[in-house]
């Protein structure tokens, strides 16, 4: 009696990495199951697309809201600074109006008071004064107007400040204009 020949689909091999060859009849897809899987995949794809569209819309709204908030913050920050400057402007206008009728001492006192108001407004806004006299020259914060020979100061040291500079939040608004020491002529 002859043993029926085993089909390749049922052949077990001793080698776990060996590939079994299937005959054409061994793979028959179930059309209904495949259609159900396809429908589920389409539904999941639509859900993911809808989530993507919602996230995209939320991000666009966030970007617009952040832009409006930034614009508003800048506008109101400038408004706060302007409110701090108004008393100084009032002081200047008062000094001009009384320049012909007031005495010199009261005019100087008024100008000093106006100067203090400006410094206070600058301080509240975070504007810091640069007056580097006696310190080493820093080209990031200073503008050298002149080099003057000096036997008392080291070369590249600021001898005096011609015009003060100002810094806002670590950024130079205006460099200090200075006279810098150099080695004396031999």
Residue 161 has pLDDT above 70, yes or no: yes
53 vs 27: which has the higher pLDDT: 53
Measure the CA dihedral 159/163/167/168, to 10°: 170
Residues 106-125: tens digit of each pLDDT: 888 888 988 998 999 888 88
What's the whole-model pTM score?
A: 0.56
Is residue 133 over pLDDT 70? yes
CA 95, CA 106: separation in Å to the nearest integer?
9
- Write down the pLDDT at residue 50: 95
What is residue 102's DSSP assignment? S
**What are 93-108's pLDDT values in tens digits?**
888 887 777 778 888 8
Q: What is the DSSP string of 73-94?
A: HHHHHHHHHHHHHHHHHHHHHH
Confidence of residue 25 (pLDDT cuts 50, 70, 90): low
4 vs 77, residue with greater confidence? 77
* Superfamily of segment(s) 127-186: Head domain of nucleotide exchange factor GrpE (2.30.22.10)
Mean pLDDT of 61-67: 96
State the pLDDT confidence band at 82, using cuts at 50, 70 and 90.
Answer: confident
Q: What is the pLDDT of residue 74?
A: 82
Considering the chain, what is the average pLDDT of its residues?
Answer: 85
pLDDT at 101 (0 to 100) = 77
Name the most confidently modeled range: 15-19, 47-51, 121-125. Answer: 47-51
Tell me which of 40 and 96 has the higher pLDDT.
Answer: 40
Rounded CA gap, 65 and 168, in Å? 27
Task: In the chain, count H helices and then E strands.
Answer: 2, 6
Strand segments (E) across the chain: 127-130, 142-149, 158-163, 165-168, 171-174, 176-182
């Amino acid at each position: 009696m002859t043993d029926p020949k085993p089909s390749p689909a049922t052949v077990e091999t001793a080698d776990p990495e060996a590939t079994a060859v299937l005959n054409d009849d061994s793979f028959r897809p179930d059309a209904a199951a495949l259609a159900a899987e396809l429908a589920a995949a389409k539904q999941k794809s639509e859900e993911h697309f809808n989530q993507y569209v919602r996230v995209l819309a939320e991000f666009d709204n966030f970007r617009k809201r952040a832009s409006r908030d930034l614009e508003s913050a800048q506008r109101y920050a400038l408004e706060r600074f302007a409110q701090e400057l108004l008393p100084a402007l009032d002081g200047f206008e008062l000094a001009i109006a009384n320049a012909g009728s007031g005495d010199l001492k009261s005019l100087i006192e008024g100008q000093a008071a106006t100067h203090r108001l400006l410094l206070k407004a600058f301080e509240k806004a975070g504007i810091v004064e640069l007056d580097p006299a006696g310190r080493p020259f820093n080209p990031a914060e200073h503008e050298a107007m002149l080099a003057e020979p000096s036997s008392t100061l080291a070369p590249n040291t600021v001898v005096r400040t011609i015009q003060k500079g100002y810094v806002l939040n670590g950024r130079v608004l205006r460099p200090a204009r200075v006279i810098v020491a150099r080695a004396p002529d031999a």
